[in-house]
């Protein structure tokens, strides 16, 4: 006999997502119904106040963290904290479903906190669960079909966020991540500590960047520094201003491969927490 050793196919998370969406009738639906996934997987669901209703031993482990959701494999139970708004609750349920279906995540109990469920988490299992949750939320590649036929803009973020029942931030990220066009989403967060300061007086500096694959290839991976111009801030950062009422300016950025700085459209928009910007090249 030879020394050849056979490898066996293991299920990719994308296949799991597609299977679950198909089996729960989501091919004919415009939005994910987390309840149907829970029923299909025979998982119970509860929503309650983690800080008062969980046993004290469990609460004592939460020092310094903000738990949002949990899954107990043994009890076949998913729970979310009562403080979460609707879109966070949906995403949190999908995140716990992801822990349940990912084969390497079969542990007894997960308690997932705000940090782990944020996009910037460094924990591998949390990253994987977030990715699968986003794939479920945006119905696999259905989002890409919707997004690719529209302009890359704040209005598209708003339209698709409502269509898919997702947050503005998750939708804006998905547009940039999956686009075949040249675009980058830049998120600016407020770096001053003045909580009582009006948003237009705050300093908004680069928090993270999501380039599309072609943008990263052609221009750059991220902005190492940058802030929202003052006049854009004062127009944009107004309580209650609708997201799609954006401000677009032209900026020039030096790009390694080019002799001249490259001109980009910078469309800024505000979701009442952070300022975002879509960078797209100005076509010559």
Segment (H or E) for 166:
none
In the complex, the smallest distance separating the C-beta of residue 54 from Zn ion, rounded to whole angstroms, is: 16
Question: Applying CB under 5 A, does 136 fall inside the site for Zn ion?
Answer: no
**125 CB neighbour count, 10 Å cutoff:** 17
Q: How far apart are CA 14 and CA 132, in angstroms?
A: 8
By C-beta, is 112 or 170 nearer to Zn ion?
112
**Strand ranges (DSSP E) for the chain?**
44-48, 67-72, 77-81, 109-113, 184-190, 204-211, 247-253, 262-270, 275-281
By C-beta, is 46 or 282 nearer to Zn ion?
46
Question: Residue number with the shortest CB distance to Zn ion?
Answer: 112
In the complex, the smallest distance separating the C-beta of residue 44 from Zn ion, rounded to whole angstroms, is: 18
Site string for Zn ion, 80-119 (x = CB under 5 A): --------------------------------x-------
Q: How far apart are CA 120 and CA 151, in angstroms?
A: 27
By C-beta, is 126 or 247 nearer to Zn ion?
126
Among 70, 93, 101, 129, binds Zn ion (CB under 5 A): 129
Cβ neighbours of residue 183 closer than 8 Å, sequence gap 6 or more: 152, 175, 176, 211, 212, 215, 278, 279, 280
- Of 31-39, 123-131, 264-272, 274-282, which part binds Zn ion (CB under 5 A)? 123-131
By C-beta, is 54 or 152 nearer to Zn ion?
54
Segment (H or E) for 227:
none
Binding residues vs Zn ion (CB under 5 A): 112, 126, 129
């Amino acid at each position: 006999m030879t020394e050849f050793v056979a490898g066996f196919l293991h299920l990719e998370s994308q296949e799991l997502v597609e299977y679950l969406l198909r089996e729960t009738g989501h091919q004919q639906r415009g939005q994910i119904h987390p309840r149907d996934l829970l029923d299909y997987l025979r998982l119970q669901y509860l929503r309650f106040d983690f800080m008062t209703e969980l046993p004290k031993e469990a609460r004592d482990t939460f020092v310094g963290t903000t738990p949002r959701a949990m899954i107990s494999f043994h009890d076949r139970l998913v729970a979310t904290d009562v403080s979460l708004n609707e879109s966070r609750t949906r995403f949190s349920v999908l995140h716990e479903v992801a822990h349940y279906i990912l084969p390497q995540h079969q542990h007894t109990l997960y308690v997932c906190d705000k940090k782990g469920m944020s996009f910037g988490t460094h924990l591998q299992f949390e990253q994987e669960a977030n990715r699968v949750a986003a794939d479920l939320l945006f119905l696999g590649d259905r989002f890409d079909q919707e997004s690719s036929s529209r302009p890359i803009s704040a209005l598209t973020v708003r339209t698709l966020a409502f269509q898919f029942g997702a947050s503005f931030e998750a939708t804006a990220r998905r547009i940039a991540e999956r686009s075949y066009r040249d675009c980058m989403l830049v998120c600016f967060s407020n770096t001053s500590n003045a909580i009582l300061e009006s948003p237009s007086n705050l300093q908004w500096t680069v928090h993270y960047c999501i380039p599309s694959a072609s943008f990263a290839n052609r221009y750059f991976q991220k902005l190492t520094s940058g802030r929202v111009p003052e006049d854009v801030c004062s127009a944009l950062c107004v309580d209650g201003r609708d997201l799609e009422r954006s401000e677009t300016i032209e900026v020039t950025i030096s790009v390694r491969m080019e002799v001249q700085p490259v001109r980009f459209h910078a469309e800024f928009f505000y979701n009442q927490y952070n300022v975002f910007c879509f960078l797209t090249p100005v076509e010559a």
